[in-house]
Structure 1
Amino acid sequence: MHTMWKGSISFGLVTIPIKLFAATENKDIKMRQLHKEDHSPIKYEKTCTACEKSLEQSEIIKAYEYEPNKFVELEKEDLDALSKEQTKSIEILDFVHLSEVDPIYFDRSYFIGPGENGSKPYSLLKNAMEESGKIGIAKVMIRSKQHLSVVRVYDKGLLLETIHFPDEVRNIDLVPEIPEEVELNEKELKMAIQLIEQLTTEFDPGKYQDDYREALMEAIQSKVKGEQIKVAKQQPKADVVDLMDALQASIDDTKPKKKKTTRTRKKKASSE
């Protein structure tokens, strides 16, 4: 596995050399854009809007647009100076319970591995967090961006998850027409709870697949072989308007199927 970041974790006066590894991967099927006439790949060029000249990377600088068409230039040295003190350190600021962090904050996950001579303090932090049931809240610089993050136990190791800063999470009050108080029918509520109970199970990530990605790959393979793409028939939609009818239909559909018994056969055999 490719090491994407090297540095250390510190909590109190304890410093642990560590390495970060990407914990997830994007499995999206990437499409190329082609010229319709001759099927040649499209090339993208960076062009100046004033002189319409194609630019090399060495000719491009970074700037912040503080007003329309007014920019302040930021040199690489300026950005490096700002991040220099924080680039290689994950400082745990607080320890909290995982249940206190709403999932809306979570962003990306990275496996944490011990660096050189870091096995013992790594194990110490992992075991201490495991026994306390706490997670660490930390700050880290990754690719010139400071992230708030969570350090927690995952399986037999440690995991770092970048999380959004509070001002990056939008206020739900911005969502229009969320009902404040709605008078609910008690029977409808009980049926909705019953439906939830019937659909409740232990979380098993292995039972879920990306059906669209699999279907897209099958279509691509069919095209490669010169075959027709098979289109699955759409299931007819149930014309259910009444909420009670919809709930009852859902409950009936999710009831566990009863196993057939052999009592009838046994009775027939004994009578013969």
Structure 2
Amino acid sequence: MHTVWKGAISFGLVHVPVKMFSATEDKDISLRLIHRDCGTPVAYVRKCNTCEKELEWEEIVKGYEYEKGHFVLFEKDELEQLNENVTKTIEILDFVDLHEIDPIYFQKTYFLSPDQAGGNAYNLLLEAMRQSGKIGIAKISIRSKSSLAAIRTIENCLVIETIFYPDEIRAIGQVPGLPEQISVRDKELAMARMLIEQLSTAFEPAKYTDDYRGRLLDLIQHKIAGEDIKVAPEQQPTQVMDLMAALQASLESIRVTPTDPSTPEGTGGAAAGGANEAGAQRTRTAKGGTKKESVS
């Protein structure tokens, strides 16, 4: 792994030298813009539209647009002066419970490993946090950007996750169209909760895959091989306006889905209860076989 940051964690008077590594990697497939006629990649040019000329990097400065078309400019050394007080220390400010932090705050995850002769202090912090069940809230500066961060443990590793500052989270009240009061029918709520229960399982990350990326990689390989590929449009599910009927059909589809041989017989069907007959009736009346339905 490539080291992205080196510094230390401090809590109280304890100093823990660490190295930081990205815990995730971007698996997106990069597609470039190509001139169709000659197959040449399209270049991006730094051009001033007023002077009508291409610019060198030394001719470019950063600026902030405080009004439409009006900017204040910053030289490189002015911005560097703002970083003079930036330290290489991750100072833990508080210890809190993880469940107190809403996932909306989390940004990016990094692994931390002990650096230099910091193994003993690293192990001490790791084990103390593991036994306490707490996570640390700290401040860190990475590439001149200051962030809040949460430090926690995963197995035998300290992990730091950058998190947004509170004023970076938009207020829920800004979301248009939210209901002022939540009102649902009791029967529909019971069916929805039953459906959630039927679909509930232990979280197994390995079973979730990026289907689009897989199809794109397959298409790339076929094109490299010179094959002419025609992708059939995906058939859209039938729209169902009756919410109760959709819930009943959903429960019925779970009941008739083949189960794992190791699953006790009847599991997944008992909870469907009275929905079975309603779902079967919809199946019998559908022309051309069972319809795939969804709630609009």
TM-score over 0.5 (shorter chain): yes
Paired letter, 1:42: V
Look up the match of 2:73. Answer: 73
1:202 corresponds to which residue?
202
- Residue 60 of structure 1 aligns with an amino acid whose one-letter code is I
How far is the alpha carbon of 1:204 from its aligned partner? 0.5
Which residue of structure 1 aligns with residue 7 of structure 2?
7
- Which amino acid letter does the alignment assign opposite residue 220 of structure 1? I
1:87–1:59 CA distance, 2 compared to 1 (3 A): farther
**Counterpart for residue 61 of structure 1:** 61
Matched residue, 1:269: none
The size of the alignment, in residue pairs, is 261
Shift of 1:239: 4.3
Tell me the amino acid that sits aligned with residue 22 of structure 1. Answer: S
**Alpha-carbon spacing, 1:69–1:24, altered in 2? closer, same or farther (3 Å):** same
Greater Cα shift, 138-147 or 53-62: 53-62
More displaced stretch, 44-53 vs 111-120: 44-53
Greater Cα offset, 249-258 or 9-18: 249-258
Residue identity in the other structure for 1:174: Q
Q: Is the 8 A contact 1:2 1:21 kept in 2?
A: yes
How far apart are the structure 2 equivalents of 1:248 and 1:232?
A: 31
Residue 93 of structure 1 is matched in structure 2 by 93
1:42 aligned residue = 42
1:149 corresponds to: 149
**Alpha-carbon separation, structure 2, partners of 1:118 and 1:81:** 31
User: Is contact 1:83–1:141 with CA below 8 Å preserved after alignment?
Assistant: no
Task: Assess if the C-alpha contact under 8 Å between 1:87 and 1:142 holds in 2.
Answer: no
- 1:19 is the counterpart of 2:38: no
- Aligned 8 A contact 1:113 1:158 in 2: yes
1:29 counterpart residue number: 29
Structure 2 unaligned spans of 5+? 266-296
Distance 2:195 2:144 in 1: 47
TM-score by length of 1: 0.90
The answer on 1:173 being equivalent to 2:176 is: no
Q: Structure 1: where are the runs of 5+ without partners?
A: 262-272
Partner Cα distance (1:165, 1:153) in 2? 22
CA apart distance, 1:49: 2.7
SS of the equivalent of 2:240 reads coil
Of 79-88 and 24-33, the range deviating more from structure 2: 79-88
Q: Deviations over 1:118-162 (max 9, x none)?
A: 111111111111111111111111111111111111121011111
Measured at CA, do residues 66 and 202 of structure 1 come closer, stay the same or move farther in structure 2, by a change above 3 Å?
A: same
SS of the residue corresponding to residue 128 of structure 2 reads: helix
**Residue 137 of structure 1 aligns with which residue?**
137
Give, in angstroms, the shift of residue 216 of structure 1: 0.7
Q: C-alpha displacement at 1:52, in angstroms?
A: 1.9
**1:219–1:230 CA contact under 8 A, matched in 2:** no
Take 2:54 and 2:144, find their aligned partners in 1: how far apart are those partners?
Answer: 27
Question: Which stretch has the larger CA shift, 155-164 or 227-236?
Answer: 227-236
SS of the residue corresponding to residue 77 of structure 2 reads: helix
Give the superposed CA RMSD.
1.8
Deviates more, 1:52-61 or 1:109-118: 52-61
Please give the secondary structure, in 2, of the residue aligned with 1:63: strand
* Corresponding residue number in structure 2 for 1:84: 84
* SS of residue in 1 equivalent to 2:99: helix
Equivalent residue of 2:47, what SS?
coil
Distance 1:240 1:65, change over 3 A: closer
SS at match of 2:191: helix
Deviation at 1:234? 3.3
Counterpart contact for 1:219–1:229, Cα < 8 Å: yes
- The residue type paired with residue 175 of structure 2 is V
